Chains A and B, each alone.
Chain A
Amino acid sequence: GQNIDQPTEMTATEGAIVQINCTYQTSGFNGLFWYQQHAGEAPTFLSYNVLDGLEEKGRFSSFLSRSKGYSYLLLKELQMKDSASYLCAVRDGNYQLIWGAGTKLIIKP
C-alpha cells in the first residue's frame, strides 16, 4: 500500500529552528508538497519538490531525497504564528495526491 509517515506532534521554542520529517512509500513519484494548516482553516501551500535537494523560500526550506523516500521541512526563526499543522503530500505515479496525517507544531515562548 501507499503510506506517508510524519510525526504526530512536535514542540519548539520561539526563535529556534525545527525540522519536520516525512517518509513515504508510494507507487511512483511525481512530486512532494508541504502545506500549512492552522486550526479550523484551509491548508495553504508552502513548497514543492520534484528533484533531489533543498528548496529555500524565506524562513522555510524543504529537502527531498527520492532514493530514500524522505523529505523534511525546515522552519527557521520560529514565530508564534507558525503554530499549525504541517501536511506532507506525495503525488504518486498516477498523479494522485497521497496525504500524511500532518504534524502539529506547537511553538512555546
Chain B
Amino acid sequence: DTGVSQNPRHKITKRGQNVTFRCDPISEHNRLYWYRQTLGQGPEFLTYFQNEAQLEKSRLLSDRFSAERPKGSFSTLEIQRTEQGDSAMYLCASSLGEEGASGANVLTFGAGSRLTVL
C-alpha cells in the first residue's frame, strides 16, 4: 500500500471556475476525512465519510463545496465558483475506526492538493 494519494498536487485556477480534487485512501481504511489548511494554521475540518456515508460536514463549509465517496473507496471534493479565499492546501486523511469507539484512530494524511485561485 502506498498510503493516501491525492491528485492533483497543485491546481491554479481563475476565480469563478470549478475544481475537483481526488483522494485515494489506504485500502483497508473505512474512514475518510477532508481538511483545509492555510499557512501557519492547523488543519480545518471540512467533512468525513465512514464507508460511503457522509457522516458530518462542517457548518463553516459553504454550499459551493461538495464531497462524494460513491463506492466507499476513493473520494472527490468539488469546489464550485471558486473564490480567492478558497486558496489553501486541501488535505485528505484516512483511518480505520468505528463511530464513537475508543482507541487511537490515527489519521494518515495524503500530501495534499494545493489550490491557488487567481
Interface pair B104/A48, CB less than 8 Å apart: yes
Interface pair B42/A99, CB less than 8 Å apart: yes
Q: Residues 79-109 of chain A: 1 if any B CB is under 8 Å from the residue's CB, otherwise 0?
A: 0000000010101000111011110100000
Q: Give complex CA distance A102, B106 in Å.
A: 18
CB distance from B26 to the nearest CB of A (A): 13
Interface pair A97/B45, CB less than 8 Å apart: yes
Q: Is B111 an interface residue (CB 8 A)?
A: yes
Q: How large is the interface on A (under 10, 10 to 19, 20 to 34, 35 or more residues)?
A: 20 to 34
Interface pair B106/A33, CB less than 8 Å apart: yes
Interface pair B41/A41, CB less than 8 Å apart: no
Interface centre among B44, B45, B99, B110 (most CB of A within 10 A): B45
Interface pair A102/B109, CB less than 8 Å apart: no
Q: Is B62 an interface residue (CB 8 A)?
A: no
Report B96-112 residues with CB < 8 Å from chain A CB: 99-100, 102, 104-112
Partner of B41 from A45, A50, A102 at Cβ < 8 Å: A102
Q: Is B32 an interface residue (CB 8 A)?
A: no
Q: Residues 1-38 of chain A: 1 if any B CB is under 8 Å from the residue's CB, otherwise 0?
A: 00010001000000000000000000000110100000
Beta-carbon nearest neighbor of A41 in chain B:
B111
Report B1-42 residues with CB < 8 Å from chain A CB: 4, 40-42
Kindly list 7 other residue pairs between chains A and B, CB separation below 8 angstroms, not including A33-B104, A101-B42. A4-B42, A33-B106, A42-B4, A43-B43, A45-B108, A95-B99, A96-B56
